[in-house]
Chain A
Amino acid sequence: MSLGKLLERILQLLPVLLGVSLIVFAMMALTPGDPVQIMIGDQSVTPEQEAALRRDLGLDRPIHERFFLFVTDAVRGDFGESFYHRRPVADVIAERLPATIELSLVALIVALATAIPLGVLAAIRKNSVLDRLATVGSLLGVSLPGFWFGILLMMLFAVHLQILPVSGRIGYSSEIVPITGFLLVDTLLRGNLSAFWDALSHIILPAITLGLPMTAILMRVTRTSMLEVLRQDYVTFAEAKGLSRRRVLFRHALKNALIPTVSVAAIETGSLLGGNMIVETVFGWPGLGRLVVESIFLRNYPLVQAAVLFYAVTYVLLNFAADLLYTALNPRVKL
């Protein structure tokens, strides 16, 4: 794809980002509830102290000035200070980000690792028991409310059977010096196998809950596209030539069958970002999603604004990547 096209797409990003910032800023500004009052709560403050607090939070300026400052600062990477943490928002978000990203990635891997083999098998053995079960499973997967399913999983595995931990990311017996911020990676890099299993046991339930709808969708997409591919002439032709069915499958059919799977996966990854909030709340996962929900209730404007902007950028980039991926994999389609 030409550089010109690439630049054009990136430039299209900008009005979207501006629009998103504007919307989220307006929403926060129009939401009733004064953050200063929330912070003060029951305590007694003199009018001067309240004014000082308002000034410190930057809330004494008119709205359009605040928006202008927000945009100009954001471009330089300064998203203001969180009202509650009294630290730069960018820092607070960056601290919580690895947990969310790790959870999303593991959910994605679980989804792909389950959906692709199941989808392929279901397509090969069409209308068999396996196929029917897979279909039922995928319908269940998109119908299960994540918050309910997560609670049930937690009750079963963590409380009744006690084979998995109740919440958190990892236990405290080992000290892990972070390298990437992803516990699964760091523990392996440090050769600490027991810590790796510990981290894995903590992440598995939330990842399964988060990835379930995606698994269901991907399985169906894989099955459908595999069926499509298997019907193609070139498959029959290759079989006629005498190539073993298996060889045909894996060398020709699979590659093409996976194209829609991959592009749908890229698009659906964006929905993992939204689903994160519910799963992180249910499992007490220390990620960004939970932080954002809390911040909305506390009217912690700077944090919400920056987080939403982050989500928007990620979402748009993911869609963009999905498009790129699709063109790269499918030579017949030009962007």
Chain B
Amino acid sequence: MSAPPAPALLVPEAPQKAESIFHRNLATFAANRLAMASAVVVVLFVLMAVLAPFVAPHDPNETDLFRRMQPPAWLPGGEWSYALGCDALGRDILSRIIYGARISIFIGTAVILVATSIGILAGLASGYLRGWVDVVISRIVDILLGFPYLIFAIGLMAMMGPGLWNIILALAYKEWVIPCRVVRGETLVTRELEYVEAARALGASHWHIMLREILPNILSPVIVVSTIRMAHVIILEASLSFLGLGVQPPTASWGSMVADGRAFILEAWWVSTFPGLAILLLVLAINVASQGLRDAFDPRFQE
């Protein structure tokens, strides 16, 4: 593995300059129309999730055995009040997709927040304090990296049983390793910089240095990485739900909706197709937006 590239961060000499850099980057991002559009899409999804009770046309858990596998509105047998059709228990698919956004977004955000927090702390400690702290944390990182993601998550879910917080833990368990590595790399570099040395000479405590001096300057790549990982986590949660280990019924998760529908995909293709499309759209939007973020904010990627 190559050594981390030469100090990629501009040393903020004065507060105004840092702010103006931030604004410039933000402007760059805004100029990227595709990225902006994607960011808008993401915001729309979030709004949809938050306002679900007002946006969804029906109760997502209301079953109606007489509407089983009703086709979408534009096919014979469908009706516009159940625009995307109904599933095996007669529940409105559109409403379930809207409520399902809550699960995907909530779990995605929670996992990233938990993982990033742990990752930052571990990475800072590991990169700054070095010594046995670094050795132990690096060993743990290596061990956790030795597991293919899905197996670990499946095993943990089997161990802890289903449940919202269990899923978040099962996914965050390994996810923290990624921000940890980034933070460690950046910390290793930043700790050698002059202003850190100065702070040390002035007698600042380790905590102060880690949290007040180093952290603010390495946040940028961490945020970028985290947004990129968010998309990945959402797909992972959907995969877990697909295998039957995700949130429990009747709560709708896009992944479990695809799984439920795959048994009768020959007869009622809409049950699996639309939730899958929802996953695709949200994840795509996050990916494009985070790509734009990276292009705008991380100097290493500026051309």
Contacts and interface: CB of A to CB of B under 8 A. Distances in A.
A281 B139 contact: no
Interface stretch (A20-28, A69-77, A114-122, A243-251): A20-28
Nearest to A313: B146
Nearest to B154: A296
Contacts of A274: 148-151
Given A148-B279, A155-B269, A326-B1, A31 B158 contact: yes
A224 B57 CA distance: 45
Interface string B152-193: 001110110100000000000000000000000000000000
Contact of A292 (B146, B151, B272): B151
A142 B287 contact: yes
Contact of A277 (B2, B151, B238, B276): B151
A28 B158 CA distance: 9
B58 interface: no
A159 interface: yes
Interface in B244-300: 255, 258-259, 262, 265-266, 269, 272-273, 276, 279-280, 283-284, 287-288, 291
B235 A20 contact: no
Contacts of B146: 16-17, 19-20, 311-312, 315-316
Contact of B147 (A20, A159, A282): A20
Nearest to B234: A145
B143 A315 contact: no
Name the prevailing secondary structure of the A interface residues: helix
A286 interface: no
Nearest to B139: A15
A176 to B, nearest CB: 30
A68 to B, nearest CB: 20
A143 interface: yes
B231 interface: yes
A151 B231 contact: no
Given A143-B283, A144-B280, A315 B272 contact: no
A333 B284 CA distance: 35
Most chain A CB atoms below 10 A, which of B146, B262, B280, B291: B146
Interface in A120-150: 139-140, 142-149
Contacts of B211: none
A323 B1 contact: yes
Contacts of A330: 2
A308 B151 contact: yes
B239 A151 contact: no
A308 B235 CA distance: 22
B264 to A, nearest CB: 12
Nearest to B285: A143
Interface in B87-117: none
A145 B158 contact: no
Contacts of B243: 277-278, 281, 293
B145 interface: yes
A303 B22 CA distance: 53
A270 interface: yes
Contacts of B150: 274-275, 277-278
A19 B159 CA distance: 18
A47 interface: no
Nearest to B261: A151
Contacts of A28: 155
A24 B148 CA distance: 12
A31 B149 contact: no
A309 to B, nearest CB: 9
A167 interface: no
A250 B146 CA distance: 37
A41 interface: no
A292 B291 CA distance: 35
Contact of B151 (A147, A149, A297, A311): A311
Interface in B220-252: 231, 235, 238-239, 242-243
11 contacts: A15-B139, A19-B140, A32-B161, A142-B231, A145-B238, A147-B242, A147-B259, A148-B279, A151-B265, A152-B276, A282-B262
Given A145-B238, A151-B258, 18 more contacts: A15-B143, A24-B155, A31-B155, A31-B158, A140-B280, A142-B283, A145-B235, A145-B258, A271-B149, A273-B148, A274-B150, A277-B151, A277-B154, A293-B243, A296-B155, A308-B155, A312-B147, A326-B1
- Sorted from nearest, which 3 A-B pairs have the closest CB atoms? A148-B276, A274-B148, A19-B143
Interface of A: 12, 15-17, 19-20, 23-24, 27-28, 30-33, 139-140, 142-149, 151-152, 155, 159, 270-271, 273-275, 277-278, 281-282, 292-293, 296-297, 304, 308, 311-312, 315-316, 319, 323, 326, 330, 333
